[in-house]
């Protein structure tokens, strides 16, 4: 419902009239004259929302290897994965007062890719948590030291705090069926 109007306009290749406001915006937003922009060259040169899927991939790799009972054959990989999962966890909130920056707490979460990405999400947090728990059940001589219990508690705290967050509220009453 939210995406439908934009996809319709894009599909119809809608082009609005060129007005004084349009010309002013083009002048303000583009570093070179709009008519000189090489759009084929400019494609995919926008800011990226994330820098890969490293944590996501590592968490599923750990789960797959442990499910196959090949832990002895892949012990060195599991040790590296354990280290990566531990260093990828967000260990502090983005600020001392996240709500003043319109941010939620992030301590205890995992990002989709790496710690540098900075936005832990529930899916990645769940998979990172699951990988950390599975690895903690392995012998330390194979995978190294388990993640500290306090860091796992941080994950539980973050997950429980997200229970009351409803991102659909952004869309107000548009998702309600009134029929």
Domain boundaries, the chain: 4-42, 54-165
**HEC readout, 23-70:** HHHHHHHCCCCHHHCCHHHHCCCCCCCCCCCHHHHHHHHHHHHHHCCC
> Averaged over 56-76, what is the pLDDT?
94
Q: For residue 21, is pLDDT > 80? A: yes
pLDDT band at residue 62 under the 50/70/90 scheme: very high
Q: Give the mean pLDDT of the chain.
A: 88
pLDDT band (50, 70, 90) for residue 131: very high
- Using the predicted structure, report yes or no on whether residue 174 has a pLDDT greater than 70: no
89 - beta bridge partners?
Answer: 110
Please indicate whether residue 174 or residue 17 has the higher confidence score (pLDDT). Answer: 17
Q: Are 108 and 158 in contact (CB under 8 A)?
A: yes
Contacts of 178 (CB under 8 A, 6+ apart): none
The better pLDDT of the pair 177, 125 is held by: 125
Q: State pLDDT tens for residues 67-84.
A: 998 988 999 999 999 999
Considering the candidates 123, 141, 173, 177, report the single residue annotated as catalytic. 123
Determine whether 154 is an active site residue.
Answer: no
Cα-based angle 48, 158, 53 (whole degrees, multiple of 5) = 30
- What does the pLDDT average to over 107-123? 87
Structure tokens at 61: 């790799």
Beta carbons within 8 Å of 113's beta carbon, 6+ residues apart: 50, 51, 52, 53, 54, 55, 56
CB 55 within 8 A of CB 114: yes
Q: Count CA atoms within 13 Å of residue 107 on its CB side.
A: 13
Calculate mean pLDDT across residues 72-100: 91
Rounded to whole angstroms, the Cα distance separating 37 from 22 reads 16
Phi and psi at residue 154, to the nearest 5°: -60, -40
Note the pLDDT of residue 1: 60
């Amino acid at each position: 419902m939210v995406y439908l109007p934009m996809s319709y306009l894009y599909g119809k290749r809608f082009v609005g009239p060129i007005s004084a406001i349009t010309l002013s915006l083009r002048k303000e937003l583009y570093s070179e004259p709009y008519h000189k922009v090489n759009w084929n060259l400019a494609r995919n040169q926008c800011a990226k929302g994330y820098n890969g899927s490293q944590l996501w991939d590592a968490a599923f790799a750990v789960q797959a290897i442990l499910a196959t009972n090949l832990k002895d054959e892949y012990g060195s990989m599991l040790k590296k994965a354990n280290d990566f999962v531990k260093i990828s966890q967000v260990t502090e909130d983005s600020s001392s007062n996240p709500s003043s920056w319109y941010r939620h707490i992030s301590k205890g979460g995992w990002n989709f890719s790496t710690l540098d990405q900075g936005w832990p999400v529930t899916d990645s947090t769940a998979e990172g948590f699951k990988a950390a728990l599975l690895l903690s059940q392995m012998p330390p001589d194979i995978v190294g030291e388990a993640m500290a219990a306090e860091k796992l508690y941080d994950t539980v705290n973050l997950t429980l705090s997200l229970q009351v967050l409803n991102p659909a509220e952004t869309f107000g009453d548009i998702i309600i069926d009134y029929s």
